[in-house]
Structure 1
Amino acid sequence: MDIERLIGEDFRRNIGLLTEDEQRRLLSSRVAVAGAGGVGGLHVLTLARLGIGAFTLADPDTFEAVNVSRQFGAARSTFNRNKAEVLAEMVKDINPAAQVTVFKEGIDESNVDTFLEGADLFVDGIDFFEFEARRLLFVKSRGKGIYAVTAAPLGFGSTVQIFAPTGMSFDEYFGIEDAMTYEEKVAAFAVGLAPRPFHIRYMDLSRVNFAAKSGPAVSPSCTLAASFVATEAVKILTGKGEVEPVPAYVQMDLLLGKFHKGRVLFGGRNPLQRLKRWIILKKVKSALAKG
C-alpha cells in the first residue's frame, strides 16, 4: 500500500481535521466488523472513506428486498449475495489498496480467534437479537486487548458504548450471567444499550417480534450509528480526543432533538437498570407468548 500517495490524493480532504500522521495510523490499522447489514455495512463504508486500510468482515446472511430500507449494501444487483462479500467489493471500489478478509460463514467458537487476528479494533454490527455471538466477540476482544465498540440504531437515533480491554466488561456493564435465559439476556442488553429510551415515546412496540427476531429500523439511525462508531475509531486508533469507555454512554434522538451523555454507575448492578430489565423482560415474555 502506497500510504503517502493515498494521503496526498485519495484522503487529502481528511487532512486539516486529521493530521497526516493520524491518517497514516488509520491507513495502517485493521478493523474487524461482525455484521454487514443495517449498521455493520455502513460502519464499514464510513470507516473505508475515513481511510482505514484493512478490514476483516463477517456475515453469513444474504441481501434481500426487506433490507433495502436501511442496509446500504442492499440493491437489486446484490439480492441473494453474501453481505460481507458485497461490502468487501464496495470497500475495494473505494480504496483498491485496502486489504479485506471475509468470513462469509459468520463467527462462532471455531473461528473467532482467527477473525480477530491482527485487529486493532472490533466493531459490533451484529443483529440485535443474535446475542451469544455478540457476547463471544466482546469477551474475546477483551481477552486479546482489543477495544470494542457498539452503536445501536434506536428509533430515529442511536447510542454508542466503548469497551476498553481493562475497563468494565461486557457482562459487567449489561449485567449478564451464564445462568440467565436468552430472554433475560436480551432484556439486560436492551436496557444497557438505551439507558434513556427516547424512542419508546413514538415506537410501535407491536411491530417488535421477538419470536421472528425482527423489529422496526430506519436508515437515519444507521447513519448516525456509523458516525458515532467512526469518530470513536479515530479516538481509539490515533489517540485524538478522549475515549470514554463504559459505564459512560452517549445517546441521541434526531426526531425528538434529544441528546444525553451519561454514566450507568455500577453497570448492570445499578438498581434502576435492574428495574428497567424486569419491565423489559415482562414485555419480551408477553411478546413471545403472543408470537
Structure 2
Amino acid sequence: MNAETYLRDAFSRNIGLVSEAEQEKLLKARVAVAGAGGVGGLHLLTLARLGLGNFSIADLDTFDTVNINRQFGAMSSTLGKPKAEVLAQMVQDINPYADVRVFEHGVTLDNLDAFLEGVDVYVDGIDFFEIEIRRAIFQRCREKGIYAITSAPLGFGATLQVFSPTGMTFDDYFGIDDEMDFVEKIASFASGLGPQPYHIRYLDLSKVNFANRTGPAVAPACTMAASLIATEVAKIVTGKGTVLAAPHYLQIDLLLGKFKRGFLFMGGKNPLQKLKKWLILRKVRPNPAR
C-alpha cells in the first residue's frame, strides 16, 4: 500500500468531523512534545491517531515500573527503554509515514531552537517540577510565534491553558518571576494550573513529596488531558473553532462532576491566586517568604 492510500484510509473515519482539507492541514503540521511520559506519551499517540503528520519528541528518561499505572508507553516490554524512542516507534507504528525527530537528551537551552524548528504548536508534557526549562520553552515559543499548550492531570480531572504568541505570557499568568525560590515558583505554577482546586477535596497531601519531586496521578486524568490537548491542537492547526488563550482556562473533575471554563483576571496577580499560593506554601514549608 502506497503512502497516499495508507494515509487516506488510516484517517478516513476522521472525515465528517474534520473536512478533507482540514485533515490535510493536520498531516502537514508539526507538533513538538517535550516529555513522553504520563501526559506527553498519550498526547503523542492521540495526536498521531488524529492524523498529525510530523513530530519532535524530547525526553531524557527511561521507563520504570512506577510508570505503569498511567504512562501509555510503559509496559513490561519497555521497562528500561528510552521514553522518547519508544513513543517515536509507537507513533510510526500508527503512521509509518510520519516524520519524527527524537531528542533523546530532552530539551535544553542549547537545543531549544532545533527542537522548535518548523513547529506549528508546542505541547507541554514535561515533569511538573521542572519549572525553569518549562519557562524557557514557553518564552521561546512566544518569541517564535508558536502557540504553546499545557494540560495538567489533577486528581481525576485535567486543566487546559493555551498561550498565544500575542496574549498573556506564561510568567504573567502563573505569577512567576526570577526573584522567587524553587518552592514559591512551584506553588505559583500549581495555583495557576488549577484555579478551581477541586482535587484538593480528596487528595492525600502526605503523598506529595517536594524533596523527591513526586505526587499521585492516575491514568483517567492523563487520558482527559490528552483529549483536551489534541482538540486544541486541531483548532489551532485547522482554524476550526475558537481558541481561548490565557488568562482563559478550562478545568474538569470527573470524580466530582465539575466543569469550569474561566477567565483568570490579572493572572498570577489576582488577589485570590496570591492567597491560594500562600496556602500552598503553608502546606509545604512552615514560613512562606511572601
TM-score (norm 1): 0.96
Which residue is equivalent to 1:142? 142
Which residue is equivalent to 2:83? 83
For residues 6 and 75 of structure 1, what CA distance do their matches in structure 2 show?
28
Which residue is equivalent to 1:217? 217
Q: CA deviation at 1:215?
A: 0.3
Which residue is equivalent to 1:247? 247
SS across alignment from 1:250? strand
SS across alignment from 1:77? coil
Cα contact 2:209–2:215 (8 A) shared by 1: yes
Deviations 1:49-97 (A, max 9, x none): 0000000000000001000000000001101111000000000000000
Q: CA deviation at 1:218?
A: 0.3
For residues 7 and 98 of structure 1, what CA distance do their matches in structure 2 show?
10
1:8-27 matches, within 5 Å, as: 8-27=8-27
Unmatched tracts of structure 2, length 5 or more: none
For residues 137 and 261 of structure 1, what CA distance do their matches in structure 2 show?
25
SS across alignment from 1:162? strand
Q: CA deviation at 1:8?
A: 2.6
Is 1:61 the equivalent of 2:61?
Answer: yes
Q: CA deviation at 1:284?
A: 2.1
Which residue is equivalent to 1:112? 112
For residues 97 and 220 of structure 2, what CA distance do their matches in structure 1 show?
30
SS across alignment from 2:39? helix
- The AA in structure 1 aligned to 2:235 is K
SS across alignment from 1:45? helix
Which residue is equivalent to 1:274? 274
Is 1:127 the equivalent of 2:127?
Answer: yes
Cα contact 1:252–1:258 (8 A) shared by 2: yes
Which residue is equivalent to 1:285? 285
CA 1:159 to 1:86, structure 2 compared with 1: closer, same or farther past 3 Å? same
Which residue is equivalent to 2:192? 192
For residues 155 and 281 of structure 2, what CA distance do their matches in structure 1 show?
20
Q: CA deviation at 1:181?
A: 0.5
Which residue is equivalent to 1:180? 180
For residues 112 and 6 of structure 1, what CA distance do their matches in structure 2 show?
33
Q: CA deviation at 1:112?
A: 0.6
For residues 231 and 3 of structure 1, what CA distance do their matches in structure 2 show?
25
Cα contact 2:3–2:97 (8 A) shared by 1: no
For residues 226 and 36 of structure 1, what CA distance do their matches in structure 2 show?
12
Q: CA deviation at 1:285?
A: 1.8
Deviations 1:113-147 (A, max 9, x none): 11001100000001101111111110111110000
Which residue is equivalent to 2:228? 228
For residues 164 and 53 of structure 2, what CA distance do their matches in structure 1 show?
22
SS across alignment from 2:166? coil
SS across alignment from 1:237? helix
SS across alignment from 2:250? strand
Cα contact 1:3–1:24 (8 A) shared by 2: no
**Identity level (%):** 62
Q: CA deviation at 1:286?
A: 4.7
Displaced runs of 4+ in structure 1, greater than 4 A?
A: none
SS across alignment from 2:240? coil
For residues 140 and 6 of structure 1, what CA distance do their matches in structure 2 show?
36
Unmatched tracts of structure 1, length 5 or more: none
- The AA in structure 2 aligned to 1:64 is D
Cα contact 1:7–1:20 (8 A) shared by 2: no
For residues 233 and 106 of structure 1, what CA distance do their matches in structure 2 show?
22
Number of matched pairs: 287
- The AA in structure 2 aligned to 1:116 is L
- The AA in structure 1 aligned to 2:58 is A
Which residue is equivalent to 2:98? 98
- The AA in structure 2 aligned to 1:271 is P
Cα contact 1:7–1:24 (8 A) shared by 2: no
Cα contact 1:120–1:146 (8 A) shared by 2: yes
Q: CA deviation at 1:5?
A: 2.9
